[in-house]
Structure 1
Amino acid sequence: MTEASPWWTPHVHADRRPRLLLRNRITAATREWFDRRDFVEVEAAALQISPGNETHLSAFATEAILPDGERKPLYLHTSPEFACKKLIAAGEQRIFSFGAVYRNRERGPLHHPEFRMLEWYRVGETYDRLMDDCAALLTLAAEKAGARRFTFRGREADPFAEPERLTVADAFLRYADIDLLATVAADGTTDRDALHAALVETGLRTAPDDSWTDLFSRVMVEKIEPVLGAGRATILYEYPVSEAALARPSPRDPRVAERFELYCCGVELANAFGELTDPVEQRRRFEADMEEKQRIYGERYPIDEDFLRALAIMPETSGVALGFDRLVMLAAGAQKLDDILWTPVA
């Protein structure tokens, strides 16, 4: 088998260049979009005490060597979220971050160890407003690309159509015939055995050591995510509180949280929260996630105590993180992230 030429080979770069220039146009248009709405662009330091405390996020670890020779562990951030929320606690009202983030154990057509994340926050506004923002950015990317449709792996979506809004519970009923909320108590605790029985009844595979979260994820991956964003984008919202580590509970139903994800052509593009501002509850969730991380991966990350202190004075805020490279990939008609990155990691 002939080895593929590297991206820096002149003829390969010539083929890639039109998509890379499109990336630049979408980048410039996105910054202009936020500027017109009185957002301030901020720069979050990549080196952090904690890379985040979600169970399945893996970070790149490094260390600082201080002038006296002391070594201090640090991590490349998996998101600018902690830094952005500290800025909100400091008094910023509308901010966006548009920079590189780093995630280990991730490589494939839709994953790259270093990628561009677009993250923005609105103080005093509901997360429904962020749904409107996401729809507008889909349209903006399509306009800059001159694309009437987005396509990926045989799936199509109209980026100009109003996204469908679908609750997670309704998605489980529609695509898996499972009453998800029947397995979630009013205080947010989950019934693993009840969800396991529902999966068995629908013919989905299970394992004896599956947790409720494992079972939830299996339904999402096998039954729901592949069909989301077909014809038009889908906003999947109201996740169970156990699956929304940084989101506040919904005032409508305490079993679910103010979290949504944006999907287009079966591709997850964005993850948003009505932000949790209770530092005691946030610590409890972080510690529970780190216990689960220890169980699965044999490691845990430190908790950023400054972040929890900032959370205590942070006003009500809604925030969203969007995978900018995936958006460009769809707009450009590419089939993998490497095709729209100027310098992919080897």
Structure 2
Amino acid sequence: MPRATPGATPPWHPESLAARLPFLRRRARLAADTRAFLTGRGYAEAETPCLVPAPGMEVHLRAFRSEYRPHLGIGVPTVLWLRTSPELALKRLLVAGAGPVFELARVWRNGEASPRHAPEFTMLEWYRPGMTLDGLMDETEALFRSVCPAVVAHGGVATDLSLPFERLTMAEAFRRHCRGLDILSTVDAATAGGDAAALHAAARAAGLDLPAGLGWEDAFFHLVLTHVEPAIDRDRATFLTHWPAPQAALARRDPADPRAALRFELFVAGLELANAFDELTDPAEQRARFTRDVEERKRLAGEEGWEVDEDFLAALAFGMPAGAGIAVGFDRLAMLAAGAERIDQVLWLPLVVDQPGSAAITSAARSSGQA
């Protein structure tokens, strides 16, 4: 149940709901328009399980733990988790031959609470076999123009969605905004690993401050958050593409340069709204990545963990068609469409934590998809 901060009007109070209703009505229209757009392009709406054995493989995500308890002798005790994304389930449907699919999915990420984050939120994801990353950018751009006002704003930043969305590679973004730093030179093409010493040396050579002792990932995100994201064009939307291979996640690497992954994120009005992959279909490479993720999660002190999703890897080995897919933070999209400044304004019954405040934007938050 939502918990009210002392002295604040609780979310169930008529005055509180009345203040949110204009945003909520706009959210409802946004959902209807989104469904119409995707079904009009041949996508089928799916509903996949919320309780799963593995909620997602991203190292820094914290999940909500649950448990199946047998009744009348049916089944065995099983640890289950509330999903952090419907991605692995929807990809199983691609294997099954469902064709293009989408879901407006309720998802959960423990510990995330700020004006832009909620521990329970809605993720819009869609996947199309045969789609390229460029084709997915075209489709995403068309969706945003179809369901949002021509000009959207957040935090005093306005973006004109009628302008062509910029497509900026991460390598070019670092060259522009990190004084010529060659980020891909710090990636091993053979192993897809990041060289922390090389990145620290490159930052020093470029005259950039980088805290000592950071591993490659934390150093990379420090530079992204300090220098790249603040400098991205705010007048128009930007796809930040071709992420360094250590950040590939479930994307395949670029055949033209294996130091980069075929992945993009979308930024609008200063908000990170979407994360997309040209999907990896190689089960051996995906297993190796998952195994590294599990080991890293276990290394993090105090974090509960889960094992590799063997069922997903079995599906991948059976054969997933090549294609592309995207995850969009639907609540943030609703914020832009409705002109809301806080995520709780577009939620029917927002959870109120005891000590609300801005969550630190770290590599953990960035990899969460809500940052």
TM-score, length basis structure 2: 0.88
CA distance in 2, matches of 1:261, 1:268: 7
How far did residue 198 of structure 1 move?
2.6
How do 1:4-83 and structure 2 match up within 5 A? 4-67=8-71, 68=73, 70-83=76-89
Aligned pair partner of 1:296 in 297, 300, 305 = 300
- Deviations along 1:58-92, whole A, 9 cap, x unmatched? 11110000123842100000000111011110011
- CA 1:82–1:294: 2 relative to 1, 3 Å: same
- CA 1:263–1:128: 2 relative to 1, 3 Å: same
CA contact (8 A) 2:27 2:337 kept: no
Report the counterpart of residue 139 of structure 2 in structure 1: 133
Report the counterpart of residue 181 of structure 1 in structure 2: 184
Query: Does residue 173 of structure 2 align to residue 168 of structure 1?
Result: no
How far did residue 294 of structure 1 move?
2.2
Amino acid at match of 2:175: L
Larger relative contact order (C-alpha < 8 A, sep ≥ 6)?
A: 2
Amino acid at match of 1:247: A
* Secondary structure class of the residue paired with 1:258: strand
How do 1:168-247 and structure 2 match up within 5 A? 168-177=170-179, 178-187=181-190, 188-201=192-205, 202-208=207-213, 210-247=214-251
CA distance in 1, matches of 2:314, 2:288: 14
CA contact (8 A) 1:229 1:267 kept: no
CA distance in 2, matches of 1:218, 1:294: 23
CA distance in 2, matches of 1:275, 1:141: 26
CA distance in 2, matches of 1:169, 1:4: 46
* Secondary structure class of the residue paired with 1:239: strand
Identity %: 46
Aligned pair partner of 1:158 in 153, 157, 160 = 160
Report the counterpart of residue 357 of structure 2 in structure 1: none
- Deviations along 1:117-170, whole A, 9 cap, x unmatched? 11000101212111112112221232xxxx342112222211222110000011
Unpaired stretches in structure 2, ≥5 consecutive residues: 353-371
With 195-204 and 36-45 compared, the bigger mean Cα shift is at 195-204
How far did residue 293 of structure 1 move?
1.9
CA contact (8 A) 1:65 1:72 kept: yes
CA distance in 2, matches of 1:331, 1:229: 20
TM-score, length basis structure 1: 0.94
CA contact (8 A) 1:200 1:206 kept: no
Report the counterpart of residue 311 of structure 1 in structure 2: 316
Amino acid at match of 2:156: G
* Secondary structure class of the residue paired with 2:272: strand
* Secondary structure class of the residue paired with 1:255: strand
How far did residue 306 of structure 1 move?
0.9
CA distance in 2, matches of 1:157, 1:252: 32
How far did residue 297 of structure 1 move?
4.0
- Aligned-pair Cα RMSD in Å: 1.6
How far did residue 203 of structure 1 move?
3.3
- CA 1:279–1:20: 2 relative to 1, 3 Å: same
How far did residue 229 of structure 1 move?
4.8
Amino acid at match of 1:102: W
Aligned pair partner of 1:256 in 260, 265, 269 = 260
CA distance in 1, matches of 2:130, 2:186: 32
Amino acid at match of 1:311: L
Report the counterpart of residue 93 of structure 2 in structure 1: 87
TM superposition outliers: structure 1 runs of 4+ over 4 Å: none
Unpaired stretches in structure 1, ≥5 consecutive residues: none
CA distance in 1, matches of 2:173, 2:261: 16
How many residues align? The count is 341
- CA 1:275–1:73: 2 relative to 1, 3 Å: same
CA distance in 2, matches of 1:141, 1:297: 43
CA contact (8 A) 1:124 1:315 kept: yes
CA contact (8 A) 2:178 2:208 kept: no
Amino acid at match of 1:304: D
Amino acid at match of 1:338: D
CA contact (8 A) 1:64 1:74 kept: yes
CA contact (8 A) 1:157 1:229 kept: no
Amino acid at match of 1:96: F
* Secondary structure class of the residue paired with 1:256: strand
Amino acid at match of 2:209: L
- Deviations along 1:195-231, whole A, 9 cap, x unmatched? 01233443323132x1111101111111112333500
